[in-house]
Structure 1
């Protein structure tokens, strides 16, 4: 049990919270332990009858069947990549920004009469991760298709259209719109230039303490002392090692020739 706890603690905090929340909301409803009606968003029930928990649970009710497993894996991979890259040592900033993202999703889905926001939340995270990924980054979709990660949000929207119809795809489109606004307003579309709202996107002290990042916050990406990384870890292509043959008066070796640049065999 201690080993399992230790492994769970290795998962970045926001990734752990989001995935655990999804499991705690979705699994009981799939097992008919809790009625899905109890966790859906409804304006009157939330703001007139003060059933405020719906503001939280409506973001974590996933789809049914095997699709939920794929969605949960995608949620884990996407948030983990963000926390390991662009939000490294800044998980509290990610958590704080997600509060505004959640509110934006609720507003963006008003024309759609949205009651469940898991899909828009997932797509907004995917959009941000793809926008922050290095140029040329590739990703795998369900382990079957490899494609440039910048096309992943649109691929997800297309799959939602094919599998769920226009109404289902519209939820994903709303998430992509919010994700684009998130990227543009916080990170900025110009390399090296932060977004117009970036100064308001830094977590306050109470959020940093809640996530376990108390103390002075690290400098934001793009400034001295902070590395900029995308949401995907890129492994550079391997270099071919050249093994030079034996030279006069010397022993053979492997790797690069760091000498004066003369051709091998010359005295």
Structure 2
């Protein structure tokens, strides 16, 4: 069962999240549930206690189509790159990044009319990966070469060209930068300290002890020349 072996070789958080996104979309496609039961609605969450919406609003990208496959591919690629790269052996810290980003997006969504937040979470993952791999070269449809830190802005421009709402891209970039600043920049400044300390119960959940790489050690790069989409997927 090569497919089964490949599936279980995916790191646990990447596997769990991408599977949840895929199954949620299939369930909507087959009419087991409707999108109206999944979207972010503060009134239904806090007054009707439909708490599952806090999770499902991150797991649905829309019906089967280009937008769904595009987002799922990017989520899988960059989530896996992070989990196997700079978060290797630190699953608790990685899950805490998800929780931090999700909570911040939910707070922002209280003031912005956005009902599904999965695309913003994808952009956040891309942003954090791109800032931790500044020397990786990327390729856009074989036409444009650029360094990894420009990837979130290329995706932003791509959304703009397709006529999509760029609010979710902006939200993802903002949340990604907040996490990157608090985790990678501020602790290394004079007088700085680590703000985002992973709770002990998450470390217990993954049977981990708190492990922190030396602050002077460079973040590992996942490659030197990566096509747009990464991981060998050519957008040509």
Q: Please classify the TM superposition score into its range, dividing by the shorter chain length.
A: 0.7 to 0.9
TM-score (ref. length: structure 1): 0.75
Instruction: Return the match for 1:181 from 178, 183, 189.
Output: 178
Partner of 1:238: none
Q: Is the 8 A contact 1:85 1:229 kept in 2?
A: yes
Q: Which has the greater radius of gyration?
A: 1
Partner of 2:212: 219
SS in 1 for 2:102: helix
Number of matched pairs? 224
SS in 2 for 1:26: helix
Instruction: Return the match for 1:207 from 193, 202, 209.
Output: 202
Give distance in 2, aligned partners of 1:91 and 1:140. Answer: 29
| 2:33 paired with 1:40 | no
Q: C-alpha root-mean-square deviation of aligned residues, in Å? A: 2.5
Q: Could you list the per-position Cα deviations for residues 127-170 of structure 1 after superposition, in whole angstroms to 9, with x for gaps in the alignment?
A: 111111142x11244777543211110111112122234xx101
How has the CA–CA distance of structure 1 residues 68 and 177 changed in structure 2, closer, same or farther, with 3 Å as cutoff? same
SS in 2 for 1:147: strand
Structure 2, gaps ≥5 residues long = 226-236
How has the CA–CA distance of structure 1 residues 92 and 185 changed in structure 2, closer, same or farther, with 3 Å as cutoff? same
Q: Could you list the per-position Cα deviations for residues 167-226 of structure 1 after superposition, in whole angstroms to 9, with x for gaps in the alignment?
A: x10111011101110100111168x5599563533342x22343x3x1423233536xx7
Give distance in 1, aligned partners of 2:172 and 2:214. Answer: 24
| 2:194 paired with 1:198 | yes
TM-score (ref. length: structure 2): 0.84
How has the CA–CA distance of structure 1 residues 156 and 197 changed in structure 2, closer, same or farther, with 3 Å as cutoff? farther
